[in-house]
Amino acid sequence: MKRLENKVALITGGSRGMGAAIAERFAAEGADVVITYARSTDSAGQVVEKVKQQGRKALAVQADSALPADIQQAVKQAVATFGRIDILVNNAGVFQMKQLEDYTLEDYDHMMAVNTKAVFVAAQAAVAHMPEGGRIITIGSNMAERLTTAGGLLYSMSKSALLGLNKGLARDLAARGITANLVQPGPIDTDMNPADSPHAEGIRSQTAVGRYGQAREIASLVTFLASPESSFITGTEQTIDGGYNI
Ligand code: NDP
């Protein structure tokens, strides 16, 4: 028996990086998958193909997480296609480093809209269609716990807010048999944080394990949290950073 047999999952930001790895792993575990994306139509199409090659159904929806109406529409499309949402993975995120004086209010609004408000909007829309046993998994960051460099204040703030949101979701939804957990990655080799960037060596040296993580390692943890095996785990933060923050 596969761990997510016949489950329906909605993954925001599933066209690249961790979201794509989670979509492919979920399909391997027996789930049908809806992914959202902002711009990468081709990459989203490739993820859909990979899911289908594993014998599962998939749908890609262009939905800007900065726009609540887009997220609500993506949930509607997922439900119209597959009838329900068993698993919501709030993965879409944006990253920007600037000094305090260089940030604009537009930077603030966009970072908070995509990294924080979108999680609230997606959860609110999805739970209306989520049966007992449902799962909400949100991708935060280990930068919510510990900020080791200057310039990350907005990103850190946007991800820190998810700790409270996640706990609230866990409390509000427990009676319905739905769990909510926050996954806080450290440096993971994706387009957002490539392991060959000019900053990579400094980042790598701060991990205990001496390397970047891979998107599939995040997908492993998210798959466990999405599965029935995690039924007594709710409201938690799971930091997965190769010992960066210890
Ligand atoms: P990537 O930049 O590789 O991929 C981001 C994904 O999110 C893409 O699918 C992208 O879609 C989508 N996305 C971005 N903005 C929007 C938007 N406005 N609306 C809808 N989709 C959007 O990022 P990662 O895979 O590295 O990051 C995934 C999550 O993990 C994020 O929340 C990030 O903050 C977090 N994280 C990442 C770390 C890292 O080291 N990589 C460390 C800690 C946390 P499109 O392809 O269309 O642009």
Q: Collapse the DSSP code of 85 into the 3-class scheme (helix H, G, I; strand E, B; otherwise coil) and give the result.
A: coil
Closest CA to 225 of 186, 178, 176: 178
Confidence category of residue 1, pLDDT binned at 50, 70, 90:
confident
Using most ligand atoms within 8 A of CB, pick from 148, 190, 211 the residue to mutate for ligand 1.
190
Tell me, yes or no, if 108 is annotated catalytic. no
* Count of CB atoms situated within 10 Å of the CB of 35: 31
What's the distance, CA 225 to chain centroid? 12
Confidence category of residue 131, pLDDT binned at 50, 70, 90:
very high
Average pLDDT, the chain: 98
DSSP label at residue 138: E
236 CA from centroid of ligand 1 (Å): 21
Residue nearest to atom 12 of ligand 1 (CA): 13
Query: Mean per-residue pLDDT for 144-173?
Result: 98
Closest CA to 134 of 88, 191, 68: 88
CA distance 244 to 203: 9
> What is the strand order of the sheet 179-185 is part of?
58-62, 32-37, 8-11, 87-90, 135-139, 179-185, 237-240
Closest CA to 221 of 184, 179, 166, 168: 184
Tens of pLDDT along 164-179? 999 999 999 999 999 9
CA distance 59 to 13: 13
Tens of pLDDT along 89-124? 999 999 999 999 999 999 999 999 999 999 999 999
Q: Collapse the DSSP code of 3 into the 3-class scheme (helix H, G, I; strand E, B; otherwise coil) and give the result.
A: coil
Taking the domain 8-240, which CATH number applies?
3.40.50.720
